[in-house]
Structure 1
Amino acid sequence: MSLDVQSFAAVHLLRRPEPIRVGGFVAGFDPATTSPYVNYATPLPGAAPTEAEVAALVGEFVGRGLVPRLEFAPDAAPEVEPALRRAGFTTEGVHEYLVCTPATLTRPAGLPATRSPRTDAEFAEIDAALSEAFGNAFPAATDGASLLRRTQERGGAVRFVRAEDGTCAGAAGCSAPAGGTAELAGVGTRPAYRGRGVAAAVTCALAGVLFERGAESVWLEPEGDVSRRVYERVGFRPGGTRLYLRLDAPLP
């Protein structure tokens, strides 16, 4: 599965507004945000980067005023981590990812209904709800609603649950598939609506949509035991790990 996840990561970054390739690396940049979770790089499967390639990749980030940062499945490119560490990269995190397939997907009874956003107002509501859900912990995009719309228009999907007062209770998005798999990310529920099955509903709905479109699997990274239990409830199972590395003080 690590090869599928890593192949997806490379293709996904090439979909960014400003993608580049440097040797065995792919980096994706989006001028709409400085978020390191949007602007980052990943190696191609099996990459064996040289010192010069690593230096060139760092230069692309520094030139944009961004922290050099990578996300990847180390098993799919075992020579990458040593090369990056020799250049001074340090561990930001090690994340387990979970995988769901059509055979494991389960829809528990009693989940709230989900909707697909269609209007600018709905995309804006989702963007605001997700910002609240994550406690504004991440740098805000200049136009997060447009980023969500782009995900949906480019073959991915966005689903949300409508709250009783007509606002968005919670939502998530899933990128367009590549190499048979797709990443589901940004699952967020506003604090007032937690514990009502919102996260499980949007996760289940998105996986189902991508399977209907031909994806063989959907993967995601849980944030702690609570979210892990939510995802396992709808059919996600352990798949492997991904490594996040960053260079906080790049050499001039």
Structure 2
Amino acid sequence: MTLDVRIQQSVVANLSTRPTPVRTGPFVIGIDPSIDSPGINYATPLPGAEISGADVTALVTAFRSYDRKPRLEYVVSTAPGLEQLLLDAGFTVEERHEYLVCTPDSIQLRPAPDGYELREPATDADRAAMIAAQNAAFGGEPISTEADIARIGGLQARGGIAVMATAPDGTCAGGGMAVPPNDGVSEVAGIATPKPHRRRGLAGAVTTEITRRLFTAGVDIAWLEASGEDSWRVYERVGYRPTGRRLYIALD
């Protein structure tokens, strides 16, 4: 089994744990009724499946029935003809990303900066603080909702990992998470530190701690995507290496 297929299968497994997973033909849609974000509610193809234009039409219909924007994320090589089918149906490419992979042999441990503590959010108050810090780091409002808190708690309950950073003054300085592993593979996501805590090595330390915990739990492939050159450098210093291509594509 190729690494691309293993990564794509992990995406299928992750979407299948959404509160309302929907299977339509060769696709799985991960629907979360509590939030309409396209970054949460999206589809992915089953690796290697034969896909037709009629399958794409049915996929769009399924999205519309849940009042969600038709959107997909997937490893390109596992569905080589799909992009053209989607473009023919009116979809537009949002982004093309390289995904990066880390293994127990490639990880480079990066310690937390002096005075900062890395730990698992153990209470809803911890989860709320971590989510608010992540939202602020990504340019949003520093708030968290009950649905956000429940989502992180559910991820942890299913075997996923969350790590929060605490600053010397006791406030939350960011965090990140990893989805529940599937067949030894897990995606690391949401690594974020608000501006006052950047340029200290904290993002690398959070990434290291999440990845280390995954490997301790028996995972052999951790993967993620970088949102820009700065985060790319952070992840490479931890031991992540570019490995394959993913596509984000949606129908407006």
TM-score range (shorter-chain normalised) is over 0.9
> Counterparts of 1:43-122 in structure 2 under 5 Å?
43-109=45-111, 111=113, 112-122=116-126
User: CA deviation digits over 1:16-56, x for unaligned, max 9?
Assistant: 00001111101100011111000000000012212222111
Q: In the alignment, which residue of structure 1 is the partner of 2:138?
A: 134
Specify the SS of the correspondent of 2:34.
coil
Distance in 1, matches of 2:205 and 2:157, equals 21
Q: Which amino acid aligns with 2:4?
A: S
Q: Look up the match of 1:30.
A: 32
Amino acid corresponding to residue 195 of structure 2 in structure 1:
P
Cα distance change, pair 228–35 in 1 and its aligned pair in 2 (3 A): same
Question: Which piece of structure 1 moves more, 207-216 or 35-44?
Answer: 207-216
Residue 240 (structure 2) pairs with residue 236 (structure 1): yes
Q: Aligned AA for 2:95?
A: G
1:63 partner amino acid: S
Q: Deviations over 1:201-231 (max 9, x none)?
A: 1100111111111111100000111001111
Deviations 1:54-85 (A, max 9, x none): 11110111122221000001101212222222
* Corresponding residue for residue 206 of structure 1: 210
TM-score between the two structures when normalised by the length of structure 2: 0.94
Work out the CA distance in 1 between the residues paired with 2:117 and 2:201.
10
Q: What residue in structure 1 maps to residue 181 of structure 2?
A: 177
Report SS of the residue matched to 1:75: helix
Q: 1:27 to 1:109 in 2, by over 3 A?
A: closer
What letter matches 1:13 in structure 2?
L
Alpha-carbon distance in 1 for matches of 2:146, 2:35: 6
Give the aligned CA root-mean-square deviation in angstroms: 1.8
* 1:89, distance to aligned residue in structure 2 (A): 1.2
Letter in 1 for 2:35: T
* Amino acid across the alignment from 1:91: V
1:105–1:235 contact (8 Å) kept in structure 2 = yes
Alpha-carbon distance change, 110 to 177 in structure 1, aligned in 2, over 3 angstroms: closer
Describe the SS at the equivalent of 1:104: coil
Structure 2: stretches of 5+ with no match in the other structure: none
Matched, 1:246 2:250: yes
Percentage identity across paired residues of the two chains: 44
Distance of aligned partners of 1:133 and 1:109 in 2 relative to their CA distance in 1, 3 Å threshold = closer
Residue 191 of structure 2 corresponds to which residue in structure 1?
187
CA offsets per residue over residues 87-136 of structure 1, 9 Å max, x none? 11110110111100000001135644310111111011011111111111
Q: Tell me if the contact between 2:24 and 2:62 (Cα under 8 Å) persists in the aligned partners.
A: no
- The residue type paired with residue 167 of structure 1 is T
Distance across 2 between alignment mates of 1:83 and 1:140:
38
> What is the letter of the counterpart of residue 11 of structure 1?
A
TM-score (norm 1): 0.94
Give distance in 1, aligned partners of 2:48 and 2:9. Answer: 10
Whether the 8 Å CA contact 2:226–2:232 is kept in 1: the answer is: yes
- What's the secondary structure of 1:105's corresponding residue? coil
Q: Where does structure 1 lack aligned partners over 5 or more consecutive residues?
A: none
- Give the match for residue 41 of structure 2: 39
